Amino acid sequence: MKAFPQSDALQRLPEQFFSKLVKKVMKVKEQHKDVINLGQGNPDQPTPKPIVETLQNSADNPLYHKYPPFEGYSFLKKAVANYYQKQYGVEIDPIHEVAVLAGTKTGLVEISQCLLNEDDVALVPDPGYPDYWSGIALAGAKIHGMPLRAEKDFHPDFTEIDDRVWDAAKLMFLNYPNNPTGAVATPELFKETIELANEHDVCVVHDFAYGAIGFDGEKPLSFLQIPGAKEVGVEMLTLSKTYNMAGWRVGFVVGNPSVVKAIELIQDHYYCSVFGGIQEAAAYALESDQSSVTQLVEMYAKRREALVTAAKNIGWNVQAPKGSFFAWFPVPEGYTSESFADLLLEKARVVVAPGVGFGEYGEGYVRIGLLSEESVLEEAMKRIGELQIF
């Protein structure tokens, strides 16, 4: 069969590190039926029933059997604006400051194609979500990593970025609560970000995927709560984690009107928005009383406590995450993140995500998801303890 060469853009795409991990896991699963997978980021709970029922009922609406408006239905954009007002006290113009996405994964790739030209620079957290790299590669732009270190609470140190990089930078990605570290943002971090973005004409993209998931009574901070944020950037909000709607593929870009307009322009050429029934269900979720979200966060808090306690009981010196549904645990001496993950898979039949898969500064850590029952998390730590590593 004739093989056609791929475009230069596809050739630039980074290798998917975790595809290799999946192959390793599948090989072990063929031999053992008791593998515990803590390396994934897929919510394990179902979408709340009232949201599902809204979709079921709205699917009968013949209006939704036609093409939806390219920019999405106005009722959904209004629901996003109302959500930001109720949850964060932020005024949003639903017409000019909200774009509907088929999941924020899509938006995080599209935004680089919207705002970056060849040889422009994007500032990216390291460690960070790998799909930031994909959009930058497709745009032919360059990545400049911003190291996230434990001693800085996994916040970037902007003083490490020299003037030449600032001059070439057009885009900055931030993500709090953070994947993979579980760190949260402070007002001081966002204020400094806004000042520097203004000074250097950089657009800030805040990935707020885990915005609803904070612990110890602390509600995670929205970038848009800080004065001046909309002047320099946008926030990307997804329903995947907040309402266990990962498979539904719906999210939003919220903030700077010029960025919203650019996203809507590129999407006009890709597809005709999200199925109307899903948009109606998404609006219902945002306008609901949020009790399901409260219960979800309480569940993750209990799992966090179970995991951290069990890890400390086996001698693993760990810190509890402040937000998100991930824990970021240090690798013991003598191991890389990948060799440690391989050991846990092969000897304990526990899957964790090697930190190096999230960037150079992810080395020395593994990411563990809070996406299993407490008893499963405790069993995983028990198995690791039996290896007598700590």
Separation CA 20–CA 26 (nearest Å): 10
Q: What was the pLDDT predicted at 20? A: 75
Q: Which CATH number belongs to the domain containing residue 305 in this structure? A: 3.90.1150.10
Backbone angles phi, psi at 155, to 5 degrees: -105, 145
**Whether 31 and 114 share a structural domain:** no
Report how many domains make up the chain: 2
Residue 253, domain CATH? 3.40.640.10
**Whether 42 and 56 share a structural domain:** no
Whether residue 166 is found in the same domain as residue 140: yes
**What are the pLDDT tens digits along the chain (390 aa)?**
989 999 999 999 888 777 777 787 787 777 778 889 999 888 999 999 999 999 999 999 999 999 999 999 999 999 999 999 999 999 999 999 999 999 999 999 999 999 999 989 999 999 999 999 999 999 999 999 999 999 999 999 999 999 999 999 999 999 999 999 999 999 999 999 999 999 999 999 999 999 999 999 999 999 999 999 999 999 999 999 999 999 999 999 999 999 999 999 999 998 888 999 999 999 999 999 999 999 999 999 999 999 999 999 999 999 999 999 999 999 999 999 999 999 999 999 999 999 999 999 999 999 999 999 999 999 999 999 999 998
In a domain, 4, yes or no: no
Task: Map tokens 């899509």 to a residue.
Answer: 106
- pLDDT score at 210: 97
Please give the Cα distance from 390 to 385 (Å, whole number). 7
Task: For residue 5, tell me if it sits in a domain.
Answer: no
Same domain, 161 and 22: no
User: CB count, 10 Å around CB of 1?
Assistant: 2
pLDDT at 360: 95
The first and second tokens of residue 71, run together, are 């920019």
Q: Do 389 and 157 contact (CB within 8 A), yes or no?
A: no
The residue written with tokens 């928005």 in the block is: 273
Separation of CA 123 from chain center: 16
Which of 287, 317, 337 is at the close of a domain?
Answer: 287
Q: Which amino acid is present at 287?
A: E
The answer to whether residue 102 is domain-embedded is yes
Phi/psi of residue 234, nearest 5 degrees: -140, 165
Query: 253, 269, 287 — which closes off a domain?
Result: 287
Note whether residue 105 is domain-resident: yes
250 occurs within a structural domain? yes
207 and 115 assigned to the same domain: yes
- Tell whether 297 and 246 lie within a shared domain: no
Cβ atoms 123, 158 nearer than 8 A:
no
State whether 282 and 298 are in the same domain: no
pTM summary value:
0.95
CA atoms within 13 A on the CB side of 281: 29
pLDDT at position 40 is 85
Domain assignment present for residue 89? The answer is yes
- Residue 215 sits in the same domain as residue 312: no
| Separation of alpha carbons 190 and 174, rounded Å | 10
Q: Verify that 79 and 194 share a domain, yes or no.
A: yes
Domain holding 353, by residue range, is 10-46+291-385
Residue 390 domain flag: no
Residues 78, 188 within the same domain: yes
> Is 386:348 a contact under the CB 8 Å cutoff?
yes
Residue 301 CA to its chain's centroid (Å): 19
